[in-house]
Amino acid sequence: MRGYSFSTVFGRALRGHRRWPAAWRSAEPARAYDVVVVGAGGHGLATAYYLAKHHGITNVAVLEKGWLGGGNTGRNTQVTRSNYFWPQSAAFFERSLELYEGLSRELNFNVMLSQRGILTLAHSHHEMEALRRWTNAIRINGIDSDVLTPAEIGKLVPLLNLDARFPVHGGFIQRRGGISRHDAVAWGYARAASALGVHIVEQCEVTGFDIDQGKVTGVTTNRGSIAADRVCICVAGHTGVLAAKAGFRVPITSMALQAMVSEPLKPCLDTVVLSPVIHVYVSQSDRGELVIGGGADGYGSYAQRGGVPLLEENLAALIELFPAFSRLRLMRQWAGIVDITPDTTPIMGPTPVRDLYVSGGWGTGGYKAIPAGGETMAHTIVHDAPHPLIADFGLDRFETGALIDEGAASGVSH
Ligand SMILES: Cc1cc2nc3c(=O)[nH]c(=O)nc-3n(C[C@H](O)[C@H](O)[C@H](O)COP(=O)(O)OP(=O)(O)OC[C@H]3O[C@@H](n4cnc5c(N)ncnc54)[C@H](O)[C@@H]3O)c2cc1C
């Protein structure tokens, strides 16, 4: 892999940035692989990368029906944090944040991680009590988290309307939380995986699975059949569709989740602000745009655009908290199809079909999980047993009832 060193970038700049080599190789599908990963989002690409990097398995293909990073990985609002409530989630997401902290160096690709802090607001005494409990649980899990008073919040976010219809009673902050550049995460993993020999095949839709006596032996695609010893499904909102093709069901509801950006403005917001009750969150991108998100549309859908009522709701909530933003024009709006489980915890690990694995159910918050998701799925595929960090995230928890309810942590979708 060609390094993006200072001298390379400087040399290319002198030559007008012409003839940069392609960052990753666009491969033609081979007839057989050791592992086929379905979906070139962050999770699929990271899984392929760690299979090659940590386990030396390079005869791997990532098959993508559209273009790389064109699913939720390229559509999210980039929030990266680890302040989850339950110990299993906290350990997993903390590992992911740690990996994010070293990711630019690991991939030799600037993922623009900005640990500007993520502030969660409370708008009543009761919510403040719940939030204190939440903060304590997070700290017991060994993760940084501080309760802030309204005065401290006012200092941190001067534009925030503390006397909104539901006044701000306080909040808590994870200072190591923040945002990173989602395209760069997809491109960085793609480039590094490709350099290790992984085949990335775009415009290749998996239409079914070859299954022999309960074991997966390959996939069928719009570009022919491909044999594989092991297959991993990483298709976010389409997990239910692919599971049905393999003959099993997953408790996942697929819904559109919207996001939007305003026109750019000078720096005015240097932390991520989130209100679970007024139901909006906002950050300012490096280009100056406000990146705004809220809840998922209230009905199942595969339409990747989102409804107008929710768009209006998100914006009304934003203006309630930041009246000054009412003067801004909205520049773009889009949506992705998110895969929501009943306990909002992902489904990771083996499936009822032997050698077929799933990494899904990421719902509204799987971007922050990409590095640890890839690392643990690669381990799970190689050892045919769940990595200890995801041992409780298996599909079997819906039979045993051992759910991990992270509804509060993922309450406002980010
Ligand atoms: C608007 C929005 C905001 C969000 N904000 C945040 C946030 O701030 N922080 C956070 O942590 N998370 C956030 N998320 C969630 C996060 O984006 C996802 O959980 C995460 O990107 C999932 O990654 P993935 O690789 O599993 O899926 P994707 O990136 O969706 O990749 C799956 C890929 O599979 C492909 N595919 C599907 N079917 C097939 C098939 N049959 N054959 C081949 N390929 C197929 C798709 O084309 C797609 O490219 C947000 C999501 C949305 C939509």
Residue 392: DSSP 8-state: G
Distance CA 234, CA 246 (A): 14
Sheet holding 170-174, edge to edge: 146-148, 170-174, 118-122, 272-275, 280-284, 290-300, 253-262, 330-340
Q: What is the CATH number of the domain that holds 271?
A: 3.30.9.10
Q: What angle in degrees, to the nearest 10, is found between the helix axes of 182-195 and 42-55?
A: 40
Which residues, listed in sequence order, are joined to residue 360 by a DSSP beta bridge? 347
Same domain membership, residue 213 and residue 97: yes
Residue with CA at minimum distance from ligand 1 atom 7: 414
Alpha carbons 52 and 191: distance in angstroms, whole number: 12
Q: Which of 316, 340, 364 is where one domain is finished?
A: 340
pLDDT, one tens digit per residue, over 394-410 is: 999 999 999 999 986 66
Judgement on whether residues 203 and 272 belong to the same structural domain of the protein: no
In CATH, what number is assigned to the domain containing residue 67?
Answer: 3.50.50.60
Contact 27, 223 (CB under 8 A): no
Looking at residue 76, its pLDDT comes to 97
CB–CB of 80/113 below 8 Å? yes
* 395 plus 283 within the same structural domain: no
Rounded to whole angstroms, the Cα distance separating 91 from 372 reads: 10
In a domain, 6, yes or no: no
Q: Is 81 in the pocket of ligand 1 (CB under 6 A)?
A: no
User: Is residue 293 lining ligand 1, measured as CB closer than 6 Å?
Assistant: yes
Domain boundary among the residues 340, 359, 378 is at: 340
* 367 in a structural domain: yes
Residue 262 inside a domain? The answer is yes
Q: Report CA(293)–ligand 1 centroid distance (Å).
A: 15
Q: Is residue 410 part of a domain?
A: no
Same domain, 173 and 186: no
User: Which residue, by CA, sits nearest to atom 21 of ligand 1?
Assistant: 73
> What is the Å distance from ligand 1's center to 259 Cα?
13
What per-residue confidence (pLDDT) applies to 394?
Answer: 98
Q: What is the per-residue pLDDT for 346?
A: 98
236 CB within 6 A, ligand 1:
yes
Instruction: Based on the fold, state whether residues 230 and 324 are members of the same structural domain.
Output: no
Query: How many domains does the structure of the chain reveal?
Result: 2
127 Cα: distance to centroid of ligand 1 (angstroms): 31
Nearest CA to ligand 1 atom 19: 366
Burial class (CB in 10 A: 0-12, 13-18, 19+), 10: exposed
- What does the block give as tokens for 353? 């079909």
Q: Are residues 150 and 195 in the same domain?
A: no
Residue 65 CB–ligand 1 contact under 6 Å: yes
Burial 19-35 (b: 16+ CB within 10 A, else e): eeeebbeebebeeebeb
Specify whether 159 is located in the same domain as 259: yes
The residue segments making up the domain with residue 282 are 118-177+254-340
Looking at the fold, whether 40 and 102 belong to one and the same domain comes out as: yes
* Partners of 61 in beta bridges: 36, 199
Q: What's the mean pLDDT when you consider all of the chain?
A: 96
Return the H-helix or E-strand segment holding 338. Answer: strand 330-340
Mutate which of 235, 357, 359 for ligand 1? The one with the most ligand atoms within 8 Å of its CB, which is 235
Instruction: Indicate if the alpha-carbon torsion angle 197, 205, 66, 93 is positive or negative.
Output: negative
Q: Both 207 and 281 in a single domain?
A: no
Report residue 264 as tokens: 């750019």
Under-70 pLDDT residues of the chain? 1-2, 408-414
* Residue 14 lies inside a defined structural domain of this protein: no
Residue 18 lies in a domain: no
| Ligand 1 center to 43 CA (angstroms) | 8
Give the nearest ligand 1 atom to 369 CA. Answer: 11
Q: Please indicate, yes or no, whether residues 371 and 322 belong to a single structural domain of this protein.
A: no
Output the six-digit token pair for 21. 């080599």
Alpha carbon 124 to its chain centroid, in Å, reads 30
pLDDT of residue 410: 65
Biggest alpha carbon distance in the chain? 64
Pocket flag, ligand 1, residue 238 (CB < 6 Å): yes
| Number of neighbours of residue 269 by Cβ within 10 angstroms | 19
228 and 239 part of one domain: yes
Ligand 1 atom index nearest CA of 359 = 26
Q: Is residue 234 part of a domain?
A: yes
Q: Could you report the per-residue pLDDT of 321-352, keeping only the tens digit for each? A: 999 999 999 999 999 999 999 999 999 999 99
Beta bridge partners of 116: none
Six-digit token pair at 393?
């995230």
Tell which of 340, 356, 376 closes a domain. 340
Q: Which residues contact 319 (CB under 8 A, 6 or more apart)?
A: 325, 326
Same domain, yes or no: 102 and 187: yes
| pLDDT at residue 409, rounded to an integer | 67
Cβ-based neighbours of 407, under 8 Å, separated by 6 or more: 343, 344
Judge whether 360 and 235 are in contact, CB under 8 Å. yes
CA distance 376 to 357: 12
Buried residues in 42-69 as b, exposed as e (16+ CB within 10 A):
bbbbbbbbbbbbeeebbbbbbbbbeebb
HEC secondary structure over 139-189: HHCCCCCEEECHHHHHHHCCCCCCCCCCCCCEEEEECCCEECCHHHHHHHH
Residue 128 CB less than 6 A away from ligand 1: no
Q: State residue 412's pLDDT score.
A: 59
In a domain, 197, yes or no: yes
Class of residue 78 by CB neighbours under 10 A (exposed 0-12, middle 13-18, buried 19+):
buried
CA–CA gap between residue 161 and residue 168 (Å, rounded): 8
